[in-house]
Structure 1
Amino acid sequence: MNSVKSWYALTRGGHLVNASGAINGDARIWFCPSCRGRLILHTGNQKEPAWFEHDQRLLTAEMRVTCALLNPEPSPSPLLSHVACLSPLPVVQSWYCVLCEHHYQGEKFCTSCGSGIYSTEAPLRQESLPEPENG
């Protein structure tokens, strides 16, 4: 099995450390943030920064299968099934510029004031208008 480089590890106290910081740190035992397997610190060289790798002698079969660092292929997200059935958002074509009180269609750019920053969707603007008073 090829070793996989990791740039972060957990100390015994559960603190996340990066490999370059671990060289000068007090901890001498590091663990994988994913499977909690023991990691070995490699100090690196001028061409390559420090890194951690799993201690292959101490990895169990379960760790090899469940570790996200050793098996980076993501499983399908449960959100994908929800997103796939969503309808696309409607494209806004009607705008109302609150600065110059101008209704217009198409791109969000008011030709009266030369900006689109003061424009809101026309239907939203209609809903937010106060009700006329009876009297």
Structure 2
Amino acid sequence: MNGIKTGLGITPGEHIISADSALSRNIRHCFCLSCHGRLILQTDAHGAWFEHDLHALSEQQKVDCVVLNPESPTLTLRIWRCFYRHYRSCWSGIV
């Protein structure tokens, strides 16, 4: 899957889903493995759109975006610990 970073101790599966899949499951707030930020998924009259904390995504970014399924709290904690070690100076954490 696009966006999966090596060395995280995770593999694609039911815990890692595409943004489109998250929308279809009515998940609105999740964690983006592509840019390491919080991803907000929304829909409007024209279809689905995706927005990160500070910027709207381009069409290509939407396609490339891979998110962590927030329905798995154990995996979320493991990912948080891994990312915190590597990105603590520039990343505020999972919301």
TM-score interval, smaller chain: 0.3 to 0.5
Task: Pick 1 or 2: higher relative contact order, CA cutoff 8 A, min separation 6.
Answer: 2
Structure holding more helix per residue: 2
Larger Rg: 1
